[in-house]
Amino acid sequence: MLNDRIVIVVGYHDLGEFDVIPVLFDEAHPRKIIWLINNEIEPIIENKIEVRQYIHVKADVDEFF
């Protein structure tokens, strides 16, 4: 479903109860992920984003939308 698509993740920044990380990085193969966050991102997520050369931006997500 996400294969070869551009995925935008907004406001998700940690490994919580509903963890999207396995889907985004292990099961799906998106063309690009653009990750918008308010706070600091978990180092494990940041590493996965950088390894795959995806984009993450620290921004006021509420103001952005």
The reported pLDDT for the residue numbered 15 is 65
Q: For residue 14, what pLDDT is reported?
A: 64
The CA-to-CA distance between both ends of the chain, in Å, stands at: 25
- Decide: 29 and 54 in contact? Cβ < 8 Å: no
> Percent of the chain having pLDDT more than 90?
22
Q: Are 27 and 33 contacting, i.e. CB atoms less than 8 angstroms apart?
A: no
pLDDT, greater one: 23 or 6: 6
